[in-house]
Structure 1
Amino acid sequence: MGQIVGAALVSHHPGLMQDQDFRIRMGNGADSDLIAGFARLREKLDAVRPDAVVILDTHWLTTGYHLVDAGARYSGSYISDEMPWYLNGQAYDYRGEPALARLCQEVAEERGVMTLAIDDPALPRHYATINVVNKLIRGERVVTVGNCQNCQTERFLEMGAVLGEAISRSGLRVVLLASGALSHKFVEIDWRQRNPRIYDPENISDPANATSDREAIALFEQGRHDLIVKRFPSVYRKIPWEGLGGHYLQMVGALGGAECRAKGEVLSEYENARGTGNVHIWFDVDAGEAR
């Protein structure tokens, strides 16, 4: 029987892939704590020893179906069409887990959930997966799940439950990585930062968003996913969170949805990236608490 052995909200923002000296200059003499946070996350992965990692990718926007990448191996060099002047030359080489992807489609078909496993070498990669792979993965197999943009909260939770059941049937030890920010409202192109350290939360686009993010982080630490889920349609979707919050909702759906009580451990400072709120949070998953 398979098992979810850990889960995390993970920032993937492009600035983390820039040269360290540049990051330190932008940080007014200190690097982003999200970089050190990746090392802390890696320690968590080492402790739970997953066979596979599922990345819930806020940049793989789909329409009409939940999609799961069923490829066996991925290698190449990534360049972002969004910001190619610095997010380029990202070499990647990692293995997929096709059987788990196909199990997701099988479970979804049983439950009447619109889900397809896709295996096509021409399918584009996205940096919400590539950046996380290059910062965190050390040989684990990887399955990427898309973010269906015409889904409401319940449909994301429903897909998460499909994922959780597929993992249960898989025989694998799996960690879920929800790759994306919390509040995701960008600053204008000609913005002027309020704080000389670019990563400082003072530079988040709207102070109200930073307040909301901190409140959500406190709820994560308490394991109050019930309150997060309850507030999602009226609060977090309207801010909005990155990818309409699909990364988090699918993650928590796999862990039991509103019944999940997995407590979050904050593994980085809460930081700004182009006005968006970013943080790494690890959730210790106990079968009795989470699902």
Structure 2
Amino acid sequence: MGKLALAAKITHVPSMYLSELPGPRQGFRQAAIDGHHEIGRRCRELGVDTIVVFDTHWLVNANYHINCAAQFEGLYTSNELPHFIANMNYGFPGNPELGHLLAQACNRLGVETMAHDATTLAPEYGTLVPMRYMNADRHFKVISVSALCTSHYLNDSARLGWAMRRAVEDHYDGNVAFLASGSLSHRFAQNGQAPAFATQVWSPFLETLDHRVVRMWQDGDWADFCAMLPEYAVKGHGEGFMHDTAMLLGALGWSRYDGKAEVVTPYFGSSGTGQINAIFPVTAQDGAAIPAAQASNPAGVASTSRL
């Protein structure tokens, strides 16, 4: 029925918004903004009607959650970085129908998930910043999924991604994009040193690790990357414990994924963290791509990957 038309790992650094404003940092995040514009353009080209964002700024302590209100509208100030994002306007339609289909598919696969449509819950800036540049004309409907998961297994997040793809392809009449909104390494500069690290990564180790990971993505080395993801999430200070990345790769087929990432915005440092915009081509995946012995765990991630 439906189609997962586009998948991407994206940045949401608040300095993108700061980059719009007059001052010493004006324009310094234009490459990241241009990357978002390009992803939005491709979504339009592919006929996407709804963008689903795996948001590493939405912290949850139990269950997985989907914000699928009919409409989102308001002013947003970041409680984390109010000097970067203050009183930012946002507005776009939601998609309650798809939100419930996604939750039902996850629950059928044993990943306890709740869809919230009758809610005053506002999206976090992991959703709002990308939509500012990809969806300024409110062309796309938007769904936000919790991806800062404090007591969850990475394999469950990957299974959630797979279930959501199945929901789109088996039960939805439309084209959808999945966006993993989060950084690679996410070790912020120490307090007082942030200005000096505005365009840098915190340490040579983390930067080298991130570059190696990006090369693995470009080379299609998914078996090795998926095997190292739990350790990378910890030692690389992965944002949201890399649950957004597990969700995205679960949707793409996990270690059986056979695409190669296309870098849209080259890797860059921001306040100590490592950032990128990269599109992961969606390739055909079905039940045959998942080993029968892992039928109850389509992600194929070791159950010891708790974070």
TM-score by length of structure 1 reads 0.90
| 1:17 paired to 2:14 | no
The number of residues matched between the two structures is 284
Q: 1:21 to 1:114 in 2, by over 3 A?
A: closer
Q: Which residue of 2 aligns with 1:183?
A: 185
Match of 1:37 in 2: 35
CA drift of 1:283 comes to 1.6
Q: Residue 128 of structure 1 aligns to which amino acid in structure 2? A: G
- Alignment match of 2:263 (pick from 257, 263, 266): 266
2:146 is equivalent to residue 146 of structure 1: yes
The alpha carbon displacement at 1:85 in A equals: 2.7
1:165 aligned residue: 166
* 167-176 vs 271-280, which moves further: 167-176
State how 1:80-95 maps to structure 2 within 5 Å.
80-95=78-93
Q: How does 1:1-291 map to 2 (within 5 A)?
A: 1-20=1-20, 25-26=24-25, 31-137=29-135, 138=137, 139-147=139-147, 148-168=149-169, 169-191=171-193, 198-199=198-199, 203-287=200-284
What fraction of aligned residue pairs are identical, expressed as a percent? 25
Question: Which of 255-264 and 272-281 deviates more?
Answer: 255-264
| CA deviation after TM superposition for structure 1 residue 30, in Å | 5.3
Cα distance per residue 1:27-70 (max 9 Å; x no partner): 8x855421222222233223212011100000111122011112
Which sections of structure 2, spanning at least 5 residues, go unmatched? 290-307
AA aligned to 1:154 is N
Residue 222 of structure 1, CA deviation: 1.8
Instruction: Detail structure 1 runs of 4+ shifted over 6 Å in the superposition.
Output: 192-195
- Superposition CA RMSD, Å: 2.2
| Structure 1 unaligned residues grouped into runs of 5+ | none
C-alpha distance in structure 2 between counterparts of 1:211 and 1:129, whole Å: 28
| Counterpart Cα distance in 2 of 1:114 and 1:279 | 30
Moved more, 111-120 or 186-195: 186-195
Structure-2 separation of matches of 1:108 and 1:41: 26
d(CA) in 2 for partners of 1:96, 1:46: 17
The 2-side partners of 1:107 and 1:77 are apart by 33
Q: CA separation of 1:193/1:110 partners in 2, compared to 1, >3 Å: closer, same or farther? A: closer
Q: Tell me, what secondary structure is at the counterpart of 2:235? A: coil
Residue 2 of structure 1: how far off its partner (Å): 1.1
